[in-house]
Amino acid sequence: MKNLLILGIGLLMVINGKAQSVRRLTDQHIVNQQERMVFKQWDKKKFTPTKGFLGLNPNYWLTWAWHSNYPKNDLRPLSSGGAQTQRLLLVAAMKNTEEAYSRHADTLRNTALTEMLNYTGAVSQVDPLWQLYYGHEFQSLYQINHASALQGAASEVSSYLIRTGILQWYIDESAALSERLDGARSTNLDRGSRIMSYHRMLDEYRKLRSVWEAKKQRAKLFLSLAKKNAEQKQSAKAPIVPQGRTDIQIAQDVLRKSKL
């Protein structure tokens, strides 16, 4: 029984070894057809089976009698006009079209971003012109108050400006101008129009400051003239009595002046 088991195992090993050894079969007709269809030159002489001696090969007639035009036409898929070549060209053309669309989409995206940055007011704070010039010029406008407006003025001039309402007029005009400036900075507006609005409001702000400084100087001059006029009136009320004159002489002078 043991010998039979060993014999069976040996037979199975032999059968398994034969099953794993595969013999490669090469058909020259198939190889030639594969070469013609893929990469080799279209050669009519390699169409097998051939006619044979005096055209008596029956395999040739059984094969090519039904496809008489096949050897005459180049039907390789990778030939210059083959189906696979056309598909590859179509894929390349579609790839070029896709890249062109992608570039066009990128251009539209960049243009849209540029236009958004030019129009939106959210990024006006980082505008180069605002950072380099206009922000510095308008900085004092946001800092205007009663103390800064009256800085450098004398106490009587400050009191006069407050009493007459000129200071309040200047504060109101500055506040209105700052509100307009904030509106120009926050509104969605073309960058060129926004810069032009900055330019116009900066010119208005400079004129407003010039008018304010002129009003302070005029108030100072007015107070000086008023003080001088009051002193002149006060001195005119007290008669000048010449020293060393008698009462009769003084009465005669008074009568003489009254006649004039």
Position 41 scores a pLDDT of: 59
Taking the C-alpha atoms of residue 221 and residue 254, their distance in angstroms, rounded to an integer, is: 38
Dist CA 126 CA 228 (whole Å): 55
pTM: 0.51
Identify the residue with better confidence: 234 or 255.
234
Res. 58: pLDDT tops 80: yes
CA 215 – CA 116 distance, rounded (Å): 44
With 50 as the cut, is the pLDDT of residue 259 above it?
Answer: no
Q: Smallest Cα–Cα separation from 189: which of 109, 241, 98, 123?
A: 123
In angstroms, the CA 28 to CA 30 distance is 5
**Alpha-carbon distances, residue 63 vs 5, 25, 36, 226, 257 (angstroms):** 53, 21, 17, 131, 158
Q: Residue 224 — pLDDT band, cuts 50, 70, 90?
A: confident
Least confident window among 71-85, 136-150, 158-172, 214-228: 71-85
Look at the block and give the residue holding tokens 């008023």: 226
Per domain, the residue ranges of the chain are 71-119, 124-235
**pLDDT tier for residue 250 given thresholds of 50, 70 and 90:** low
Helix axes 83-119, 191-237, angle to 10 degrees: 10
Burial bucket for residue 166 (CB in 10 Å: 0-12, 13-18, 19+) = middle
pLDDT value at residue 218:
87
Instruction: Tell me the percentage of the chain whose pLDDT exceeds 70.
Output: 69
Q: Are 160 and 167 in contact (CB under 8 A)?
A: no
Q: Tell me what pLDDT residue 75 has.
A: 67
**Given this model, what pLDDT does residue 148 score?**
86
Report whether pLDDT(48) > 50.
yes
| pLDDT of 211 | 92
Nearby residues of 149 by Cβ (< 8 Å), 6 or more positions away: 167, 170, 171, 212
pLDDT average, residue stretch 156-181: 90
Q: How far apart are CA 188 and CA 118, in angstroms?
A: 9
Structure tokens at 180: 């307009």
Res 230 pLDDT > 80:
no
List the structure tokens of 220: 């100072």
